[in-house]
C-alpha cells in the first residue's frame, strides 16, 4: 500500500491498516504526506489577508488571556511579525510533529516494557493515527476562512454553542478537539493490537490524560479572564 492508500485506509478501515502498519512498520512516506498536507493547508490560509488578520487576532487574545495589556507598540510588533507566521507554522509542523511522534513512541515503549514491541512499530502507530490530522487541516482551512478566525474550527465548542465565550464550560469545550479524540481512539486501537490488550482500557488512560490537560488549560484561562 502506498502512502495515500494508508491515509485513506486509516479513515475507512483503521484496524486492517494498523495491522499492516504493525507487521511492516515503514511510516516514512505516510509521515511525509501527513506533514505536507497539514503544512500546505496551514501556510496557505495564513498567507491570505483573512489568515493574517486571524493570526494577529489570535495572538492578541492569547496575550490578553494571560493578563498582558496589548499596548499600541506591542500591537505594532505583533503586526510586524505576521509575514513570518506562515514560515513559523510550517516549521512547527514539519519539525515539531516528528519530534512529538518520536518522544511519544519512546514514552510508550518505556511504559509498556514488552520485549516483542519495537520503537518502529509504536512510531508507526502514532504516525498512522495522525492521518486524521491531515483530514482536519483540509476541513479546518475553509471553515477558518469563512469564520475569519484561527483555531477552534473542529473543537467541541462548535458543536455546543451558546455557552458564553468567557465561561469555564465554553473554554473547556473549546479546548477539546474532535479530531484529537479520533486520534486517541486510533492510537488506542493500534496499541491494543501491539500489546494485546483491550483498546477501551488504553483509550481510558489516553482520554483521561487529554481531558485533564484540556481542563487545566480551560481553568487557567477562566481564572485569568476573571471568571
Q: Mind listing the pLDDT tens digit for each residue in 131-172?
A: 999 999 999 999 999 988 887 788 877 666 655 556 666 677
Nearest residue to 184 (alpha-carbon basis) of 120, 108, 126, 106:
126
47 Cβ partners below 8 Å, 6+ apart? 86
* Weakest-pLDDT range from 112-116, 124-128, 196-200: 112-116
CA distance 187 to 48: 34
Mean pLDDT computed over every residue of the chain:
87
39: its cell numbers: 503544512
Give me the percent of the chain exceeding a pLDDT of 90: 55
| Cα atoms in the Cβ-side hemisphere of radius 13 Å centred on 30 | 29
- Can you give the pTM of this predicted structure? 0.86
Whole-angstrom distance, CA of residue 157 vs CA of residue 176: 8
Q: How confident is the model at residue 105 (pLDDT cuts 50, 70, 90)?
A: very high
Q: Which three cell numbers stand for residue 172?
A: 473547556
Share above pLDDT 70 across residues of the chain, in percent, rounded to a whole number:
88
Q: What b/e sequence results for 92-127 when a residue is b if at least 16 CB atoms lie within 10 Å of its CB, and e otherwise?
A: ebeeebeeebeeebeebbeeeeeeebeeebbbbbbb
Residue 130 CA to its chain's centroid (Å):
8
**Position with higher pLDDT, 2 vs 132:** 132
pLDDT tens, position by position, 47-90: 999 999 998 888 888 787 667 788 888 888 889 888 899 999 99
Amino acid at each position: 500500500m502506498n502512502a495515500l492508500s494508508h491515509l485513506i485506509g486509516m479513515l475507512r478501515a483503521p484496524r486492517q491498516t494498523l495491522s499492516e502498519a504493525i507487521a511492516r512498520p515503514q511510516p516514512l512516506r505516510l509521515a511525509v504526506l501527513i506533514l505536507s498536507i497539514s503544512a500546505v493547508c496551514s501556510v496557505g490560509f495564513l498567507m491570505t489577508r483573512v489568515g493574517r488578520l486571524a493570526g494577529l487576532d489570535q495572538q492578541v487574545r492569547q496575550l490578553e488571556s494571560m493578563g498582558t495589556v496589548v499596548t499600541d507598540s506591542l500591537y505594532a510588533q505583533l503586526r510586524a511579525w505576521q509575514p513570518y507566521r506562515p514560515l513559523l507554522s510550517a516549521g512547527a509542523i514539519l519539525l515539531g510533529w516528528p519530534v512529538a511522534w518520536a518522544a511519544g513512541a519512546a514514552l510508550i515503549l518505556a511504559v509498556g516494557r514488552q520485549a516483542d514491541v519495537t520503537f518502529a512499530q509504536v512510531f508507526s502507530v502514532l504516525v498512522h493515527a495522525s492521518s486524521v490530522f491531515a483530514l482536519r487541516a483540509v476541513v479546518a482551512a475553509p471553515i477558518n476562512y469563512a469564520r475569519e478566525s484561527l483555531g477552534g474550527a473542529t473543537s467541541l465548542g462548535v458543536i455546543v454553542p451558546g455557552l458564553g465565550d468567557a465561561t469555564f464550560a465554553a473554554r473547556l469545550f473549546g479546548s477539546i478537539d474532535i479530531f484529537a479524540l479520533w486520534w486517541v481512539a486510533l492510537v488506542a486501537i493500534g496499541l491494543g493490537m501491539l500489546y494485546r490488550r483491550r483498546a477501551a482500557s488504553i483509550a481510558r488512560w489516553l482520554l483521561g490524560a487529554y481531558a485533564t490537560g484540556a481542563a487545566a488549560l480551560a481553568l487557567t484561562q477562566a481564572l485569568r479572564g476573571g471568571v
